[in-house]
Amino acid sequence: MASWLFFGFVVLLLGWSTAKCSSVPDGVVHMECHDRYFVIAVDSSFTGGEPHFDAVDETGIYPITPRYAAKCGYTMVPLSDHVELRASYFSCHTDNQDDTLFTFNFNMIVTHEEKEVAYELNSTCSPSLSWSPREVTCELNYMEVSVRSEVSCPSGTMKDDWNALKTAYSSTTSDWQVMFHRAEEQLQPMSLSEARKQDYVFEVTGGRLVFRTPYGQRNSVLTEVNDVPVEMVHATLFSRQSWVVLMVDMVAACSKFNGSSDDAGHVVWKTPEALYASLDTTQLNIGLGGERVSQPVATERGYVLEMHNGIIQISIPTSSEGGRRKSFVRDNLYEFYTFDFYLEQILEDEDRVETRLWSHRMLTTPLLPLPLPVVAENQTDPEKRAFSVYLGDLPEDVELMAVQINGHELTMPTSNTSTYTITRVVHPNSTHGYSLKVPFNDPVVIYEFSKEDAVYRCELGLNFTLIVLPEKKSFYHFETIVTFLTDISPPVFDAFCSDSGISFKLDHQPLDYLWEISVGSDPLTSDLAARHGYVMSNDSQSLQLHAPLFTPGYRYKNITLKGFLGTFEILVQNRITSELQSSTVKTCSFNTTGELIVCSTDGRMVVVANLSQAVPSGGIPARTSLRNRNCGPKDADDTMALFSFPLNVCGSSIKIGKGNVTYQNEISYNKKYVDNNDSVVAEAPQRVIVQCTYHLAGLHRLFSAFRFESDTAGAGAIVRTARTDADVQSSTTTTAAVQTTPAAYGPRIPRMLLRAFPPRQNLGHSRVQLNMI
């Protein structure tokens, strides 16, 4: 996690065009004065990416890069919701007036809509806490020591003359040399400017001498004090002024303990009690998030401060408030806490000279499992006819990006046009979740029908894509929700008779789509309706279908000259099993208002024909017959006659065409009445031929079982032709060729073609013999 510390630094390239902007929106940048440093906190929501900063003074503008920060006393601390810049009061470009008034001028550069915008800002602080003779700051990225330039010398060996030192320093720095010590080794002295090139900074302020070094420098010494790693830099400044040699010893020492965690769920940090010479027990203060925490508060939060064996140990419970939590994805979702704290130690040496040591640390807990794992909870209530799934509880920094529902991708935020809904549920404890609702009848739901148990298994495979902010690392949560539905009943139509046909109405139900509605073997679609002449309307409320009389799908029964029964059937099939679930059969009686011919699947022809032109003047339809004179009408009135007979009797002729077979007969005035009744003199003007055509393919039973049973009803036709003289002879013989091609009908001649689909139940069958002529 240490690598984060500096991710906010970006080197400003020369010539980079940056828009200048003087004022930042209110509440975005918070500047605070702490005891020993400025704090500039910038809302992450404002900066978008990571902001970067320039330190500004009268000599120029200095981009704060990670290396420059460590050298010059700046620290960038990226936190979950903001970025913090800490600038030491002794940082390189801070204006210092008598170590009491500090002014930091800086530019903050943020990227807005891919354009860099710079804000000129400044902060002025006057710390209330007075400076101790020696102050040491162990920052995250550097060590800084400052000593008062006027120190009384109780041992009396030599009167310190810092004023002289200061003069000498400011006149010609080259006179001053610094010598680093490593273990017992004394290194070659170098000039202060040479040291600065190596990132060691020495400065003289109004009343103090400051030394700062990044960690891990060449002249650092790493040691251990009771197993606690310590980094130390020991520098001696000296100047030779004629015969007087001035020497100042500067030691920067900091604990480099990285932090650890113990079994009790605490993060632990350690530092030697006496990094600097100390006489009495040290005085300790803890600061959290930059604020000093009083002892009772620290105790209340569960912090434990222990001192033994020369080591100070701080234990912070991972659950304690003040830690910043962060989600982390690694195979699964975890969280960790970061504690940004400092320890202030006040030490006194044997001369009662006080040293104040500030140790800043960011402690990170190991990856911890979430208190409650993320689950997709099945809250489905079958009564509500919808799946209900709650995904949660998610920490604040985790968001739902998308969800795949049985493979259908749905990205957030969802449009509200879809039938499923996702709503974000926020809890007061700053967790949140998502509630997903998918109606059972949504096409994404996968259904399976179990025949044994007679239940529907409805499955919802959910794959949630979640991201951790701000780095947007994604992870998935997969869950399969299954529910069983037993009470699914097929839709039921209402049916009504009307003069012109039969009407059906279905009020839509949520699960309608599980069923397939068909007429005969054809699924009911608007296309089928158009082809067959049905009138269909389908809106969100209901489906309405009107089947006009004589359209395909009708069956006819009890045909008389007065009326007949028409039956229309709508089938409902299980879409999954293709099993027939129900049918709505409606039979209505209709008045016979004109001609009709029915060729039933069991091989019977029923004809109602207008014979007004087919009987000779003075004759009546009741005296007509088929080719076989014994086959007279079942009923007749002044103009109409009803014939009903098996196809292959009464002198029918059979004609086999390509793929179909046609049974044909003719209705004519019975000659025996012509002979016996003198008043009938003339021939009838019209011949009336009745015929039924069946598809051969549908008649396979005729050849296998010798039974007439067609898969489909035959197509009937009543064909009229004007009688010619030639017909007078030929009409008496049944072998005469009959013209049945449509072209011969003539436009004036009425014709009716009726089709009917096979009835579901077997309407009995007659055994026929196919007489091939």
Ligand X SMILES: *[C@@H]1O[C@H](CO)[C@@H](O)[C@H](O)[C@H]1NC(C)=O
The contact set with ligand X (CB under 6 A) reads 2, 105, 122, 229, 256, 258, 371-372, 378, 380, 382, 393, 404, 416, 427, 429, 431, 463, 476, 478, 481-484, 499, 513, 517, 524, 526, 538, 540, 543, 558, 562, 565, 591, 594, 610, 612-613, 618, 639-640, 657-660, 673, 676-677, 679, 693, 715
| 178 or 680: CB nearest ligand X | 680
Report d(CA 396, CA 373) in Å as an integer: 14
| 237 or 561: CB nearest ligand X | 561
The sign one gets for the Cα dihedral 601, 602, 605, 608 is negative
Minimum gap (Å) between residue 325 Cβ and ligand X: 11
DSSP code per residue over 112-171: ETTEEEEEEEEEEE--SSPPPSEEEEE-SSEEEEEEES----TT-S----HHHHHHHHHH
Report d(CA 234, CA 200) in Å as an integer: 11
Minimum gap (Å) between residue 80 Cβ and ligand X: 17
| 580 or 681: CB nearest ligand X | 681
597 φ, ψ (degrees, to nearest 5) = -140, 130
The angle at the Cα of 573, spanning 572 to 575, to the nearest 5 degrees, equals 130
| 57 or 199: CB nearest ligand X | 57
| 5 or 151: CB nearest ligand X | 5
| 206 or 657: CB nearest ligand X | 657
| 147 or 607: CB nearest ligand X | 607
Minimum gap (Å) between residue 296 Cβ and ligand X: 26
Minimum gap (Å) between residue 165 Cβ and ligand X: 31
- The conformation of residue 696, written as its DSSP 8-state character, comes to G
Which secondary structure element, helix H or strand E, spans residue 462, and what is its range?
Answer: strand 455-468
| 80 or 404: CB nearest ligand X | 404
DSSP code per residue over 401-455: EEEEETTEEEESSPPTTSS-EEEEEE-TTS-EEEEEEEETTSTTSEEEEETTTTE
Cα atoms in the Cβ-side hemisphere of radius 13 Å centred on 693: 15
Q: Which residues make Cβ contacts (< 8 Å) with residue 524, sequence separation at least 6?
A: 517, 518, 536, 545, 570
| 168 or 316: CB nearest ligand X | 316
Long-range CB contact pairs, 168-177, < 8 A, 24+: 168/239, 168/241, 168/246, 169/204, 169/239, 170/204, 175/239, 175/240, 175/241, 176/202, 176/237, 176/238, 176/239, 177/237, 177/238, 177/239
Minimum gap (Å) between residue 506 Cβ and ligand X: 9
Minimum gap (Å) between residue 620 Cβ and ligand X: 8
- The conformation of residue 708, written as its DSSP 8-state character, comes to B
Q: Are 377 and 347 in contact (CB under 8 A)?
A: no
Minimum gap (Å) between residue 383 Cβ and ligand X: 9
Minimum gap (Å) between residue 139 Cβ and ligand X: 15
Residue type for 581, please?
Q
769 φ, ψ (degrees, to nearest 5) = -110, 135
Q: Are 317 and 299 in contact (CB under 8 A)?
A: no
Minimum gap (Å) between residue 244 Cβ and ligand X: 41
| 123 or 146: CB nearest ligand X | 123
Beta bridge partners of 650: none
| 484 or 496: CB nearest ligand X | 484
Minimum gap (Å) between residue 212 Cβ and ligand X: 21
| 100 or 379: CB nearest ligand X | 379
244-255 and 686-695 strand pairing? unpaired
Name the burial class of residue 291, with classes exposed (0-12), middle (13-18) and buried (19+) by CB atoms within 10 angstroms of its CB.
Answer: middle
Minimum gap (Å) between residue 79 Cβ and ligand X: 18
For residue 269, give both structure tokens.
């940090």
For residue 542, give both structure tokens.
């209901």
| 152 or 421: CB nearest ligand X | 421
| 195 or 647: CB nearest ligand X | 647
Q: Are 702 and 660 in contact (CB under 8 A)?
A: no
Minimum gap (Å) between residue 192 Cβ and ligand X: 29
Q: Which residues make Cβ contacts (< 8 Å) with residue 83, sequence separation at least 6?
A: 8, 41, 42, 44, 47, 50, 51, 76, 77
Minimum gap (Å) between residue 640 Cβ and ligand X: 5
Minimum gap (Å) between residue 762 Cβ and ligand X: 16
| 404 or 734: CB nearest ligand X | 404
Beta bridge partners of 229: 224
Q: Are 438 and 447 in contact (CB under 8 A)?
A: no
Closest CA relative to residue 549, chosen from 584, 608, 500: 500
| 284 or 565: CB nearest ligand X | 565
Residue with tokens 């002249």: 219
Q: Which residues make Cβ contacts (< 8 Å) with residue 367, sequence separation at least 6?
A: 328, 330, 334, 335, 336
Residue with tokens 């179909």: 660
| 167 or 223: CB nearest ligand X | 223
For residue 766, give both structure tokens.
């007659």
Report d(CA 116, CA 11) in Å as an integer: 13
Minimum gap (Å) between residue 416 Cβ and ligand X: 4
Minimum gap (Å) between residue 408 Cβ and ligand X: 12
Closest CA relative to residue 619, chosen from 551, 673, 686, 561: 673
For residue 457, give both structure tokens.
């298994």
Minimum gap (Å) between residue 321 Cβ and ligand X: 14
| 24 or 190: CB nearest ligand X | 24
Q: Are 688 and 611 in contact (CB under 8 A)?
A: yes
Minimum gap (Å) between residue 597 Cβ and ligand X: 13
For residue 106, give both structure tokens.
């800086």
